[in-house]
Structure 1
Amino acid sequence: MPMQANNRILSFSIFRSIYPWVIVSCGMLFYCYNYFLRVSPGVMQPELSQAFHITATQFGALAAFYYYAYTPMQLPAGMIYDKFGVRFVLCAACLIAVIGLSIFITADSLTMAKTGRFLIGLGTAFAYIGTLKLASIWLPPRRFGMVAGLATAVGMTAGTLSQKYLTHALETIGYQAALHTALITGIALSVIIIVLVRNRPPHQHSSLYDMHTPMNIKQLWEALRIIFTNPQMWLIGIIGCLLYLPSSVFLDLWGIPYLKAVYQLTPEQAVLISSYTFYGWIISCPIIGAISDKIKRRRLPLTATGLFAAFLLCFVFYSPTINVSALYAIFFMIGFCCGAHPLCFALGKENNPIQISGTAVAVTNMLIMAGGVIFQPVVGKLLDLHTSSPISADGLPTYAASDYTFALSVVPLGVALGIFLSFFLKETYCESQAKESDEKIFTPRHLEPAVEPIAN
């Protein structure tokens, strides 16, 4: 009997140590689903352009409709998590993305396709924030930087597999049928979330670090005041936006068309080379996050890796001749260098009171993802402005290698600007830099009604 009791205790102990990671993994799965939906237009660019008879400017706008919902929703997403908890919100968000995907699949007009992309962005806006929120609830604070990097790495893995799957599926069954599997996957994922995810550990009670005490409207506005009046938050968001351009503009949308046009690659070759950027990102995100946690520095990894990424991007875009075989190594290193950008989320968290970490990380993500809103359509517009190639047989513009080089110059220029701005970041040393007066605003005693004095 004592041995059986010890075995039960051991099993329970193992379960308690694994279960938090199971819950955080549910958030990561939703982020993977988000990544599939985000990168799919880049693979389907010729098919979508022909289906809706659109130019590069219109295609960039169609893809950007995802960001038109995704980016501004980062702020209310964080506040919604802070107020209502993760479980129900994450499940509902997944279902909204599924509805958007079903509209996109059945779209027979550009307007309907844009509506679908908008709803996809609306639902998936909760994915990454939800993952980080779960990590801040269920895991020790020292794991936050690693989880931020690991979540991005897992999402990048999904992006790689998504591109390969879609490239094969487009040749056999078409883009609409190819997306039906994703539709079923989204429904299954929403069920998994509602079954497994819980808002907080059962042993967690109200304390200074209770992340789930609902905030009233006054406290929400106070949280926004603290975040938006902090100059470091604006700097963190802008730097993150610029350092993320290789993903939000190049990798997510224009990278595969660029490789096919400039290097005359087949779709399979272009996807394979592009996937090496994902591989570099996958490897570096958790490594750089763990190193940052170990050395207790955030700014140094951001600046050092960003500098090398800018050099490699300039080499890709402006070098007269690059051997195709060398592109694999170059794109891998670009991804590796860009893997430090999740540290911006850790910086956002550490520059604000822990009780509003969801809102702080959401604001950071909103500013970072603004790159897709601004620059995906800009690249399309620059392509249309720069092209002098003849119209194709189907009546659509064609784009030469020089057109893509000109339009995509915004990427290395943006990364270079991000490096310059990073020198103005204040190091947090992996510790909270929040003012004590701001921390007290959100302590439980401030949430409780005042007690009337007893009359003597």
Structure 2
Amino acid sequence: MPSSSPASRAAWTMLLVLISGFALSQAFRTAAGIMAPPLQQAFGLTPQQLGLFAGAFHFAFGALQLFMGMGIDVYGVRRTVLAVFPLAIVGALVTASADSYAVLLLGQALTGIGCAPAFLVCTVFIARSFPAGRYASINGAALGIGSVGLLLTGTPLAWVIEAWGWRSGYVALASCAALAWLAILLLVREELPATAGGRPDVLGALRGYGELFRLPHTLGIIGLAVFTYASFISLRGLWLGPVLIDRYGFSLVETGNVAIAVSVLGMVGPPLFGRLDPGDRTRRRWIIGFTIACAVIFALMALRVPAAVEVGLSLAIGIVSGYMVMQYADVRAAYPSHMTGRAMAVFTMAMFLGVALMQWLTGLAASAATVLGVETYTAVFGAIAGFLLLGTALYRFLPGPRAVSAETAQSTP
């Protein structure tokens, strides 16, 4: 629970305002699912074009993470999000007014760029404004609260589309984003952390990425980040529906009900595991253990188990995946304060580019399964389990943060 001191109340107020931007980012990220049928009807889009339309957001979002981290370290949380988030509003309006597929892609790309700092600013603000020992629990709460945006693109957005059309859906999202931007402008204040060498300039921040990758534990952290969040999104956003419909004969409504349940558990998991965070001394062992547990669950899903068991395993992934919030705390503890923004940016970039990579690789696994005579979802979920074990091995056997020297921790970017 937040402290009752005025400083703590102010910090929580500003964090909740920043989370409103993250919630809109979550909504924009998942809007393509509910928008797909009307867009396909309006523009005659093929499934491949719909996939590229949805992916344009994630590629733009992931590719800009390094620059967002640099901006946060140089200019601060408030100025970075105020400068960039308006592109999300512009992108949504461009999409709403689109008269061609190319304009649809442009709108999605602009929205992805605009949303690029949305959660990153929350993680850095928490690191700078709250005690280090509470980082995991507060960050978990932020993830859970911000995931309300996933629910906005369910029934509420569908109702808007049915009543006024898909263009009105994007106008509604743009309006909400504008309100979030205005709230950040009016309510968020920030004092940049003091460092021994002063704030870095742009070139210094760019050189700081070289410093980041020279630290021996960075590769292990990235190696795991590529596969963990991607495993959850690959299930929830790509394979959950097909496996329930193709393997078990579920209807679309029944599949949607399971998807909602998985999403709700995905919202509950991060704050739960944030409160359970064991601290710096044993956190890495917990992360390894829960990643292996997720791999085991996916391995069981690869088997042709009864439908109720498959649903139960999917729900288990929804809740257990909340442990991934501990990875943010691991990053927070692994780098000196002047590198926090860039470290979080690299971590976030790895997660979202990992989503694209895993979805592509599991698609290849599904295609290969057809040729080899293996059941499609046995190959898909078996591949996800293998990727999680690979990430675990990289995280476990590559150097850990203890390799960071005091001299490195005190260096300037």
Q: Under a length normalisation based on structure 1, what TM-score does the superposition of the two structures give?
A: 0.79
**Residue 96 and residue 221 in structure 1: after superposition, are their counterparts in 2 closer, same or farther (change >3 A)?**
closer
Q: Report the alpha carbon displacement of residue 375 of structure 1 after superposing the two structures with TM.
A: 3.7
Matched, 1:279 2:264: yes
**Residue 190 and residue 258 in structure 1: after superposition, are their counterparts in 2 closer, same or farther (change >3 A)?**
farther
Of residues 185-194 and 273-282 in structure 1, the stretch that sits farther from structure 2 once superposed is 273-282
Matched, 1:359 2:350: no
Q: Percent identity?
A: 21
Aligned 8 A contact 2:217 2:403 in 1: no
Aligned 8 A contact 1:281 1:338 in 2: yes
**Residue 120 and residue 372 in structure 1: after superposition, are their counterparts in 2 closer, same or farther (change >3 A)?**
farther
Distance in 2 separating the partners of 1:260 and 1:92: 44
Aligned 8 A contact 1:39 1:253 in 2: no
Residue 312 of structure 2 is matched in structure 1 by 329
Distance in 2 separating the partners of 1:312 and 1:344: 20
Residue 453 of structure 1 is matched in structure 2 by none
**Residue 249 and residue 175 in structure 1: after superposition, are their counterparts in 2 closer, same or farther (change >3 A)?**
farther
Distance in 1 separating the partners of 2:158 and 2:298: 25
Aligned 8 A contact 1:78 1:361 in 2: yes
Q: What SS does structure 2 have at the residue aligned with 1:198? A: coil
Matched, 1:341 2:332: no
Residue 452 of structure 1 is matched in structure 2 by none
Gaps (5+ residues) in structure 1? 1-11, 389-400, 444-456
Residue 126 of structure 1 is matched in structure 2 by 117
**Residue 217 and residue 15 in structure 1: after superposition, are their counterparts in 2 closer, same or farther (change >3 A)?**
closer
Distance in 1 separating the partners of 2:251 and 2:12: 40
Match of 2:7 among 4, 16, 23: 16
Tell me the matched-pair count: 409
Residue 447 of structure 1 is matched in structure 2 by none
Of residues 261-270 and 334-343 in structure 1, the stretch that sits farther from structure 2 once superposed is 261-270
CA RMSD, 1 decimal: 3.2
Matched, 1:166 2:157: yes
Q: What SS does structure 2 have at the residue aligned with 1:40? A: helix
Of residues 376-385 and 266-275 in structure 1, the stretch that sits farther from structure 2 once superposed is 376-385
Matched, 1:106 2:97: yes
Distance in 2 separating the partners of 1:305 and 1:37: 29
Matched, 1:435 2:397: no
Within a 5 Å distance, the mapping from 1:83-102 to structure 2 comes to 83-102=74-93
Matched, 1:176 2:154: no
Deviation string for 1:243-272 (max 9, x for gaps)?
112333332355445544544444443232
Match of 1:249 among 234, 238, 251: 234
Aligned 8 A contact 2:220 2:396 in 1: no
Aligned 8 A contact 2:234 2:358 in 1: yes
Larger Rg over CA atoms: 1
Distance in 2 separating the partners of 1:151 and 1:280: 15
Residue 304 of structure 1 is matched in structure 2 by 289
Aligned 8 A contact 1:147 1:286 in 2: yes
Answer 1 or 2: which has greater helix percent: 2
Match of 1:416 among 389, 402, 407: 389
Within a 5 Å distance, the mapping from 1:179-198 to structure 2 comes to 179-198=170-189
Residue 34 of structure 1 is matched in structure 2 by 25
Deviation string for 1:180-210 (max 9, x for gaps)?
321210111110000011122xxx87455x9
Aligned 8 A contact 1:302 1:422 in 2: no
- Which one-letter code corresponds to 1:107 in the other structure? A
Q: Under a length normalisation based on structure 2, what TM-score does the superposition of the two structures give?
A: 0.87
Gaps (5+ residues) in structure 2? none
Match of 1:369 among 315, 329, 352: 352
